[in-house]
Structure 1
Amino acid sequence: MTDPTIRTQTVIESTTYRDGERALADPVTKAAAAAVIDNPYAGEWQEDLSLLTEWGADLGGRLATAAVDRLGGPETVEGYGKGGIVGTEGELEHVAAMLHPELGTPLREAVGGGEAIIPSAKKRGGPGTCLDVPTHYKDEAYVRTHYDAMPVRIEDAPAADELVLIVVATDGGRPHPRIGGLQIDELED
């Protein structure tokens, strides 16, 4: 396997201390790790996208580790998500090939578990395109307190012939959740 050509790699951290009229008893931090890479199939049809799948597993695993490390390690992670943006000369399927077939295993390893499906989003766009990467609780898909997203934007990416791969990890759910549904403390071990 040839390695992807990485132009930039970024880790973005956002901590919420207050939402609306109240401070949070426990601030919530979200960390996104993103890599901007050359798209080898920009502007051309390629039937076999297995190279992108391999890159998604390898690079996605490294990004997951970077996001988790920013939060302080796997024991702090409660939520996760993944996403990607393909430049205008590429196809959504290019970023889907990186996100879906193989990235889940290394992401779950990085967060120390992850029984729930990993929510994802993908988009086509140019430099500065913002992607709201969906997140939810890593071990149970129906923990409503953790249905959220993290907006991720790389100012100068993707160029028309690039891909942006993004992994998000969180150490909590939404601020002040109170719409009901399954709560973390109701989960059975």
Structure 2
Amino acid sequence: MSEVRIRKIVDHVEDTFIEGGRAAETPQRQAACAAVIVNPWSGQGFVEDLQPQILAHARALSEALVPRLIGLMDGAANIEAFGKAAVVGTSGEIEHAAGLIHTLYFGNAFRVAAEGDSFLPFTNTRGGAGISIQLPLTHKLEAKKGTRSHFLTMVFDIPDAPAHDEIVVALGAASGGRPHHRIGDRFNDMKLMGTDQAGRPLAEDRA
């Protein structure tokens, strides 16, 4: 089993004060921490069992990124939305990127630290150095998962990563929804349409 080789960690922080020409009532912070690592399966051809390296790398990556991101957000109490992403270099498989973020040893560590209980939205893609990294975010609480104000996408890039034999693994968070959000949410839509989450008429409306 190869060691975890982190070449660099990149922080991305945005603080939005004005949106649509109007000052935000509360400035919104979005932050991401991304680790650039050597792909542990690089040069090995098709590897049948990815689990040993997933376990070794997921723990190390969560230890490197989770406290750092919580710090950028000034604590879990300031996190309302979260998500994750991975980009594998051109010599790797998308399965390599997926393997490092779709494991409880990685995602659950962030969920617990962020004091959330919902599913982490994600992207796992392949590309070359400087590719646009798309990191989706949704509300960290399952009960508020339909809150469209918190349907967000962070976009950033790392000019020299991923190299062909690297993987970028990232976690993201936001302090709130979009400033001046006003498109409602799916719960309001369901109420107006008289349906449940599966799109079926509510009991009192069924003939």
Same structural fold, with TM-score higher than 0.5 when normalized by the shorter chain? yes
User: Residue by residue, what CA displacement relative to the aligned partner does 1:115-137 show, whole Å, maximum 9, x if unpaired?
Assistant: 11100001100100111100011
Q: Which runs of 4+ in 1 moved over 2 A?
A: none
Q: Say whether 1:142 aligns with 2:146.
A: yes
Give the CA deviation at 1:96.
0.5
The aligned counterpart of 2:97 is 95
RMSD of aligned C-alpha atoms?
1.6
Of the three residues 52, 58, 61, the one matched with 2:60 is 58
The 5 A counterparts of 1:166-177 are 166-177=170-181
- What letter is aligned with 2:48? E
Change (3 A) 1:129 1:51: farther
Amino acid at match of 1:134: P
> When you count helix as a share of all residues, which structure comes out higher?
2
Deviation, structure 1 residue 61: 4.2
Q: Does 1:24 align with 2:24?
A: yes
Identify which of 178, 181, 184 aligns with 1:180.
184
Amino acid across the alignment from 1:30: Q
Structure in which a larger fraction of residues adopt strand: 1
**What does 1:51-90 correspond to in 2, within 5 Å?**
51-54=52-55, 55-90=57-92
5+ long unaligned stretches in structure 1: 184-189
Query: Residues 163, 73 of structure 1: CA spacing in aligned structure 2 closer, same or farther, 3 A cutoff?
Result: same
Residue equivalent to 1:187: none
What one-letter code is carried by the residue in structure 2 that aligns with 1:81? G
Q: Answer yes or no: is the 8 Å Cα contact 2:4–2:60 preserved in 1.
A: no
Correspondence for 1:118: 120
**Any idea what the Cα deviations from partners look like across 1:72-111, whole Å, max 9, x if unmatched?**
0111111100001100000000010001122221011221
Counterpart-to-counterpart distance in 1, 2:58 and 2:73: 22
Larger radius of gyration: 2
Question: What letter matches 1:108 in structure 2?
Answer: R
- In structure 2, give the amino acid aligned to 1:123: T
CA distance in 2, matches of 1:80, 1:52: 25
CA separation in 2, counterparts of 1:156 and 1:130?
12
Change in CA separation of 1:72 and 1:182 when aligned onto 2, cut-off 3 Å: farther
Q: 1:3 to 1:109 in 2, by over 3 A?
A: farther
Name the CA distance, whole Å, in 2 between partners of 1:104 and 1:130: 22
> Would you say 1:130 and 2:132 are equivalent positions?
yes
| Mapped partners of 2:18, 2:52: distance in 1 | 43
How far does residue 155 in structure 1 lie from its aligned partner after superposition? 0.8
Partners of 1:142 and 1:153 in 2: CA distance: 28
The aligned counterpart of 1:158 is 162
List runs of 5+ in structure 2 lacking aligned partners: 188-207
Partner SS for 1:176: coil
Match of residue 34 from structure 1? 34
Q: Partners in 1 of 2:59 and 2:173 — Cα distance?
A: 16
Question: TM-score of the superposition, structure 2-length normalised?
Answer: 0.83
Query: What's the counterpart of residue 49 of structure 1?
Result: 50
The count of aligned residue pairs is: 182
